[in-house]
Amino acid sequence: MRGYILVFLAAAMWGTLGIFAKFLYQYNLSTYTIIFYRVFFAVIFLFAYLKVKGIDPFIERERIRFYLAYAFFSIFLFYALYFYTVKISSVSFAVLMLYTAPAYSVLFGRLIFKEKITPTKLLAVALVITGVVLLNTDSITVSKLAIATGLASGLTYSLYGVFSKMAVRKEEPEKALFNVLLIGMLFLIPFTDFRVPTGAIPYLVALAFFPTFLGYILYNTALKTVEISRASVIATIEPVVAMTLAFLIFGERLTVLQIIGAGLIITGAILVQITPSYSRQS
């Protein structure tokens, strides 16, 4: 039971990502500045954690090329696309677009890991596609740009899973996360305005600690006693948490058709993760 509670808490932490982003955009920070400080503080937390655990934080030199690609797609592109989608649409819309990732993962699982495309996976893809169509009806009045960046965030999120699956074959999960974040900062530096208002700093630290560091540590700890397939299904509570918080804090609402679409996307994500093709990192 403890393991399931930890997964639930981890998913709840991930569900706060868009909320923190919305608060930080109120300080007129750029997307890349928010991401940089999220990564910067998370690297500090992870470095301290790895040292306490007695794990050498740094990868071997021959692994750097792999981590450069990993960081470019999984930190620079993925984080930027997701946070920018939050900025130009809503937390609810952005998190649901993120959950189109399992549909992409079916394709990547086949091309890269030679995983079978089963009828269940095809049904999941169909549900996700239908859900996206319904989500983009009626109000929220999302722009075509928001739809494009939202779908692209789902694509890069699925790539995140592919890279992380490769990384943990040779490094501990926490070590892999530390290094991809550390190298990811290199791509972010040229686009970052390092001057931030004092009032934004607590939100930046919280963004790094709760959904980044703590969420991942809770999830990784839970996997010691909970099967990955079951943990992945429980983790789909993330968009529910995000949408609930967005409603309570920002008054964001979904129409009936969009709620149905949201349900289809989450159902599709669950179906894919019953036989998981990618691991979860946020």
Which one, of 2, 12, 5, 4, lies nearest residue 215 by Cα?
12
Closest by CA to 76, choosing from 170, 183, 217, 162, is 183
Q: pLDDT: is 217 or 281 the higher one? A: 217
Rounded to 10°, the helix 173-188/144-167 angle is 140
Q: How does the average pLDDT of the chain come out, rounded? A: 90
Give residue 275's pLDDT: 61
pLDDT tens column, 16-52? 999 999 999 999 999 999 999 999 999 999 999 999 9
CA gap 93, 126 in Å, rounded: 19
Contacts 24+ apart (CB under 8 A), 114-120: 115/277, 118/275, 120/271, 120/274, 120/275
Domain boundaries defined on the chain = 2-274
Q: Residue 36 burial by CB count (10 A; 0-12/13-18/19+): exposed, middle or buried? A: buried
pTM: 0.89
**Per-residue pLDDT, 281:** 59
Is residue 15 within 8 A of residue 219, CB to CB? The reply is no
Residue 229 pLDDT:
64
Which whole number is the average pLDDT over 263-267?
91
**Cβ distance 85 to 239 under 8 Å?**
no
Let me know the angle formed at the C-alpha of 212 by 258 and 87, rounded to the nearest 5 degrees.
Answer: 45
Q: Which helix (H) or strand (E) holds 276?
A: none
What pLDDT sits at residue 125?
86
Neighbours of 1 (CB within 10 A): 7
Percent of the chain past pLDDT 70, that is, above it, reads 95
pLDDT at 253 over 90: no
For the stretch 88-133, pLDDT in tens is 999 999 999 998 887 888 888 788 877 788 888 888 888 988 988 8
Local structure of residue 59 (DSSP, 8 states): P
Which residue stretches of the chain are H helix?
2-14, 17-25, 31-53, 64-71, 78-88, 91-98, 101-113, 119-135, 144-167, 173-188, 201-207, 215-222, 228-234, 238-250, 256-274
203 φ/ψ angles, rounded to the nearest 5 degrees: -65, -40
Burial of 281 (0-12, 13-18, 19+ CB in 10 A): buried
